[in-house]
Amino acid sequence: MDIYQLNQQQLLKGTRCNFQRYLYQQIQWDDRLIGIFGSQGVGKTTLLLQRIKLAFEDSDKALYLSLDSILFQREKMISVATQFYKAGGTHLFLDNVHRYPDWINETRKLIDRCPELHIVFTSSPLLSSTKVEKGLKHKVTCYKLNTMSFREYLSFECVLDLPPMSLDDLLENHVEVSRNVNDQIVVAPIFRNYLDHGCYPFYWDDPDAYPFHLQDRVRDSIGIDTPAVYPLEYAELKEMKRLMMYISDMIPDVPSVADMATQLKLDPAVTKKYFEYLKEAVCLRQYLVGKKSVQNRLQKTYFSNTNLLMAFEPEFNDRAVLGETFFVDQLSTFASIELQESNDYLVNDKYTFMVGDPLMDYDRIKDTENAFAAIYGQPKSQNNKLPIWLLGLCY
């Protein structure tokens, strides 16, 4: 037990609490069983350590365990957790549970045997929350941690502190909000920095190597997290990586699964499976129009955020696609998004968004109810046109 407590003490020493992700305030920490799902690098581990540091300080009531630790090749998690509970522990924080094969069975036993024990766990989004709740046979309060919003980045960089706004409030008051922000900061260079490196809080660890660290995290999502959840052989993982790089070159107009399978000389069913895994790992997002035949459906595929796009395609400079990638990344955290035949996006079944750059013609939506132009390069809000960065202030 001492080695785990010592590890926790060392980790807490390096944990800063002056900046917290948006999700920290939303979590109902008193719930007995909490699951936090998110892709690599978004800050799940830091979230757990901040909770321990802020709520328990030097108390021995809380214990952090990373379930991908090599120590669990020697003893089971349930043994360590039971010792902790018998010694008076009340709150167990389990990190990377998807990398520990029997975690669901052992956690279920802990819940049944330790009635006063609270458990918070983190997982890759590859692991279905529905599957987890069914396996644990207990109610799990599940949360998803997305990448940092533009609003969070402004706070993280100590540039500007703004409260999050609902989308309805933002769109109703976007002219005033835009003017308020522009009066305080010069947005354009800060927003460009965000698109390049602002989505993940580990940027300052090594700014020069940041793009390579992002590539490594995608590699680990494919090579470590995916086979931890799905039974895949090494050769299959290699093909998944090849598919990922093929898609990277085609963003956003990625061919159909059938066409990709032909180009890569893979079975279509296998290609579809790999593509779904890449989306589940939050490496990619795909939007399709309607329910027509696959051959005729309009579809768009994006990297999950602009930082990944720039890490894999450093010379990419299509402002419209950068704007679209930012748009779907920010809004997917709190809203439903549907691609329309017009190439516009319907949000929450209410708002129509035309996304692009200042050189596009936006006349066709000027008289449409609840229609807005979200523009990369727009300096300020005017009528139904707004700078696209405003949509990064909602969480």
Instruction: Report the CATH number at residue 221.
Output: 1.10.10
Residues 8 and 128 in one domain: yes
Planar angle of CA 31, 35, 40, nearest 5 degrees: 145
Which pLDDT band holds residue 185 (cuts at 50, 70, 90)? very high
Rounded-to-integer distance, Cα 333 and Cα 330, Å: 6
Write down the pTM of the prediction: 0.94
The per-residue pLDDT for range 326-347, each reduced to its tens digit, is 999 999 999 999 999 999 999 9
Please report whether residue 305 resides in a domain. Answer: no
Among the three residues 233, 266, 300, which one is the final residue of a domain in this structure?
300
Please report whether residue 35 resides in a domain. Answer: yes
How many folded domains does the chain comprise?
3
Please check whether residue 114 is in contact with residue 89, taking contact to mean a CB–CB distance below 8 angstroms.
no
Q: Is the peptide bond before 189 cis (omega within 30 degrees of 0)?
A: no
Residues 253 and 322 in one domain: no
Among the three residues 97, 127, 144, which one is the final residue of a domain in this structure?
144
Q: Which helix (H) or strand (E) holds 370?
A: none
Across 275-387, the runs of DSSP E, i.e. the strands, are 284-288, 299-303, 337-339, 345-347, 351-356, 371-375, 385-387
Please report whether residue 307 resides in a domain. Answer: no
Which pLDDT score is estimated for 295? 56
For 126, list phi and psi in degrees, rounded to 5.
Answer: -60, -25
For 364, list phi and psi in degrees, rounded to 5.
Answer: -70, -15
Q: How deeply is 145 buried, as exposed, middle or buried, from its count of CB atoms within 10 A (0-12, 13-18, 19+)?
A: buried
Among the three residues 238, 270, 300, which one is the final residue of a domain in this structure?
300
Residues 108 and 6 in one domain: yes
Which pLDDT score is estimated for 291? 62
Residues 181 and 326 in one domain: yes
The per-residue pLDDT for range 83-117, each reduced to its tens digit, is 999 999 999 999 999 999 999 999 999 999 999 99
Listed range (46-50, 316-320, 369-373) with the worst mean pLDDT: 316-320
Please report whether residue 50 resides in a domain. Answer: yes
Residues 139 and 31 in one domain: yes
As a whole number of Å, the CA-based R_g of the chain is: 22
Which pLDDT score is estimated for 201? 93
* CATH for 6: 3.40.50.300
Using the predicted structure, report yes or no on whether residue 1 has a pLDDT greater than 80: no
Residues 75 and 175 in one domain: no
| Residue for token pair 């602002």 | 198
Using the predicted structure, report yes or no on whether residue 292 has a pLDDT greater than 70: no
Residues 220 and 120 in one domain: no
Please report whether residue 158 resides in a domain. Answer: yes
Using the predicted structure, report yes or no on whether residue 40 has a pLDDT greater than 80: yes
- The full DSSP string for 49-98 is HHHHHHHHTT-TTEEEEETT-GGGGTS-HHHHHHHHHHTT--EEEEE-GG
Which pLDDT band holds residue 249 (cuts at 50, 70, 90)? very high
The per-residue pLDDT for range 260-282, each reduced to its tens digit, is 999 999 999 999 999 999 999 98
Which pLDDT band holds residue 166 (cuts at 50, 70, 90)? very high
- The number of helix segments (H) and strand segments (E) in the chain equals 17, 12
Using the predicted structure, report yes or no on whether residue 293 has a pLDDT greater than 90: no
Please report whether residue 311 resides in a domain. Answer: no
> What's the rounded mean pLDDT across residues 360-387?
93
Residues 53 and 191 in one domain: no
Proportion of the chain above pLDDT 90, given as a percent: 92
Residues 42 and 116 in one domain: yes
* CA-closest candidate to residue 149, choices 277, 7, 333, 1: 333
How confident is the prediction for the chain on average, in pLDDT?
A: 95
Residues 12 and 89 in one domain: yes
Domain that holds residue 41: 2-144
> What's the rounded mean pLDDT across residues 127-135?
94
Which pLDDT score is estimated for 58? 79
Q: Which helix (H) or strand (E) holds 311?
A: helix 306-312
Indicate the DSSP class of residue 121: E
Alpha carbon 55 to its chain's center: 25
> What's the rounded mean pLDDT across residues 157-169?
97
Which pLDDT score is estimated for 366? 84
Which pLDDT score is estimated for 296? 59
Residues 63 and 34 in one domain: yes
Which pLDDT band holds residue 290 (cuts at 50, 70, 90)? confident
Using the predicted structure, report yes or no on whether residue 218 has a pLDDT greater than 70: yes
Residues 34 and 135 in one domain: yes
Which pLDDT score is estimated for 294? 52
Dig out the tokens for 172 from the structure.
């109703």
Please report whether residue 308 resides in a domain. Answer: no
The per-residue pLDDT for range 371-383, each reduced to its tens digit, is 999 999 999 999 9
Please report whether residue 32 resides in a domain. Answer: yes
